[in-house]
C-alpha cells in the first residue's frame, strides 16, 4: 500500500504536468503484489520548469506522510483499548500441565498476560508458598487444580495470544501502515542519489547540494561502522 500510493502519486502529478508516463506496473513476490512502479519520461521531465519537477518529486513523499497522519489517530485510539490476552502453555516441562492449556488464574491472581503470571509467581515465591491453586482452560472444559511450584514457577514455557484475534490483526495492520508510510516518506527525503530528496535538493540548491549529499552519506558510513567492525 505504501509503495503503491507513493508511485501512484508520482504518476498522477506527472500526467497533470504533461510529463509522459512511459510505463507502470506491479512488483510481485511469488503471486502476491508487494508494490508498484511508475517510470516517467526523464527527458521530458528535465525540460519542464523546476517548480513542476519539484511538485512531481514531492508527490509520493506527501502522499506517504498524509496516509501516515491518517493512520496516526486511529492507532492512538486503538492503543488505548486494553487487549485481553490468553497465557497458553507452549511447552510443559512436567505432567502438571499439557500443551495448549490456558492459565486463567494463579492463586488469587487473574492472568491476562505473561507479566501477570510472572508477578504472581514472584509473589508466591517471596511468601515461600509452593502449593498453589490454579484455574486452567483446555479445549473442552475449565477446571481447578492444585500444583506444587518450584521457586514459585509452574514449570512450563508460555506464550500469549490475544483473545480477539481480529482486533489484534487490525491493530498490527494500522501500526505497520503508519510506520511504513512514515519511513518511506522520510527515507525518500534523504539527499542521496536514487531518492527523491536528492533531485529536490539539487533543484533547490544547485551545485551546493553536493555538500549536503556528501555529509549525509558520511553520516550513514559513520553509523554503519560499529556493525562493520563487530
Model's pTM, two decimal places? 0.63
Strands 156-162 and 102-106: unpaired
| CA pair distance 134, 164, nearest whole angstrom | 23
Q: Is the pLDDT of residue 120 over 80?
A: yes
Domain boundaries, the chain: 2-80+166-189, 85-162
Confidence band for 224, pLDDT divided at 50, 70 and 90: confident
Residue 30 has pLDDT above 60, yes or no: no
Instruction: Give the pLDDT score at 70.
Output: 94
Q: Averaged over 146-165, what is the pLDDT?
A: 76
- DSSP per residue, 170-202: HHHHHHHHHHHHHHHHHHHTS-STTSHHHHHHH
Three cell numbers, residue 80:
488505548
Looking only at the bridges linking them, the beta strands covering 156-162 and 85-92 are: antiparallel
* Residue 166, pLDDT above cutoff 90: no
pLDDT reported for residue 73: 93
The CATH label, of 2.30.42.10, 3.40.50.360, 3.30.9.10, 3.30.460.80, for the domain at 85-162 is: 2.30.42.10
Alpha carbon distance 152, 122 (integer Å): 6
Kindly state the cell numbers that stand for 161: 495470544
Reply yes or no on whether the pLDDT at 176 is more than 80: yes
- Average pLDDT (194-220) is 78
* Mean pLDDT, the chain, integer: 80
Degrees (nearest 5) of the Cα angle 154, 108, 78?
A: 90
**Residue 66: its pLDDT value, please?**
93
Provide CB contacts within 8 A for 150, sequence distance 6+.
130
Pairing of strands 21-29, 131-137: unpaired
Average pLDDT over residues 162-170: 80
For 144: left if phi > 0, alpha if psi spans -120 to 50, otherwise beta; the answer is: beta
Is the pLDDT at 27 greater than 70? The verdict is: no
pLDDT top residue among 66 and 44:
66
Q: What percent of the chain is predicted at pLDDT more than 90?
A: 9
Q: What is the pLDDT of residue 68?
A: 94
Amino acid at each position: 500500500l505504501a509503495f503503491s500510493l507513493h508511485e501512484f502519486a508520482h504518476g498522477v502529478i506527472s500526467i497533470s504536468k504533461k510529463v509522459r508516463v512511459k510505463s507502470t506496473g506491479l512488483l510481485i513476490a511469488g503471486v502476491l503484489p508487494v508494490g508498484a512502479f511508475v517510470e516517467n519520461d526523464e527527458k521530458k521531465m528535465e525540460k519542464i520548469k523546476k517548480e513542476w519537477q519539484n511538485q512531481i518529486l514531492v508527490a509520493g513523499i506527501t502522499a506517504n506522510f498524509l496516509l501516515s497522519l491518517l493512520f496516526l489517530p486511529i492507532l492512538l485510539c486503538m492503543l488505548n483499548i486494553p487487549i485481553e490476552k490468553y497465557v497458553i502453555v507452549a511447552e510443559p516441562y512436567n505432567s502438571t500441565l499439557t500443551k495448549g492449556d490456558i492459565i486463567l488464574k494463579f492463586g488469587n491472581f487473574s492472568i491476562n498476560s505473561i507479566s501477570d503470571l510472572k508477578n504472581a509467581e514472584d509473589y508466591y515465591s517471596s511468601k515461600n508458598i509452593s502449593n498453589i491453586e490454579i484455574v486452567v482452560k483446555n479445549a473442552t472444559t475449565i477446571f481447578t487444580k492444585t500444583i506444587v511450584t518450584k521457586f514459585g514457577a509452574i514449570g512450563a514455557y508460555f506464550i500469549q495470544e490475544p483473545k480477539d484475534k481480529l482486533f489484534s490483526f487490525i491493530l498490527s495492520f494500522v501500526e505497520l501502515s503508519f510506520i511504513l508510510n512514515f519511513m518511506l516518506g522520510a527515507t525518500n527525503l534523504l539527499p542521496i542519489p536514487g531518492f527523491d530528496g536528492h533531485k529536490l535538493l539539487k533543484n533547490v540548491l544547485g551545485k551546493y547540494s553536493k555538500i549536503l549529499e556528501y555529509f549525509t552519506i558520511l553520516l550513514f558510513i559513520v553509523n554503519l561502522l560499529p556493525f562493520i567492525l563487530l
